[in-house]
């Protein structure tokens, strides 16, 4: 049940990110100066944490989507859905640990120095 909720929530979050991304990219045609200001805000540590959340949402949504496909199209999928869910969570945790430095490294250097 919670994987179903998390899949829907991450899908909605990804949709809103894509909507904002299209809007801010379109801003370059309207006002390049304002676009530069918006892009400058993306270099703040708070946005780096939000980017880490975005990576978390995309990874979970993708991995859980593969699990849902396996449950739907593999004849033994429903029998092993709980094990597949825990596998998805384990892979997600490992990938998120691996994403800490690449995504949050700039924010850490910004806050604590090189």
CATH architecture of 1-113: Up-down Bundle (1.20)
pLDDT digits (tens, 9 = 90+) for 55-108: 999 999 999 999 999 999 999 989 999 999 999 999 999 999 999 999 998 888
pLDDT given for residue 106 in this prediction: 86
> pTM higher than 0.85, yes or no?
yes
The string of DSSP codes covering 33-56 is: HHHHHHHHHTTSHHHHHHHHHHHH
Q: How many CB atoms lie within 10 A of CB 113?
A: 6
pLDDT given for residue 60 in this prediction: 97
Say which residue, 113 or 67, is predicted with more confidence. 67
CA 105-21-109 angle, to 5 degrees, is 15
pLDDT given for residue 107 in this prediction: 87
As a whole number of angstroms, the distance between CA 79 and CA 46 comes to: 42
- Residue positions forming the annotated binding site: 61
As a whole number of angstroms, the distance between CA 13 and CA 10 comes to: 5
CA 114-54-63 angle, to 5 degrees, is 120
As a whole number of angstroms, the distance between CA 114 and CA 110 comes to: 8
Sign of the alpha-carbon torsion through 77, 81, 87, 91: positive
Domain ranges in the chain are 1-113
pLDDT given for residue 59 in this prediction: 97
* Nearest one of 37, 38, 53 to 99, comparing CA atoms: 53
- Residue positions forming the annotated binding site for heme: 61
């Amino acid at each position: 049940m919670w994987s179903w909720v998390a899949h829907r929530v991450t899908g909605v979050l990804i949709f809103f990110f894509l909507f904002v991304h299209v809007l801010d990219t379109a801003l370059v045609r309207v006002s390049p100066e304002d676009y530069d200001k918006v892009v400058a805000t993306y270099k703040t540590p708070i946005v780096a944490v939000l980017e880490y959340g975005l990576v978390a949402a995309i990874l979970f949504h993708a991995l859980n989507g593969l699990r849902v496909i396996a449950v739907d199209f593999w004849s033994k999928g429903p029998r092993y859905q709980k094990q597949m869910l825990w596998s998805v969570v384990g892979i997600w945790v490992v990938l998120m640990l691996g994403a800490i430095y690449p995504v949050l490294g700039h924010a850490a250097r910004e806050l604590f120095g090189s």
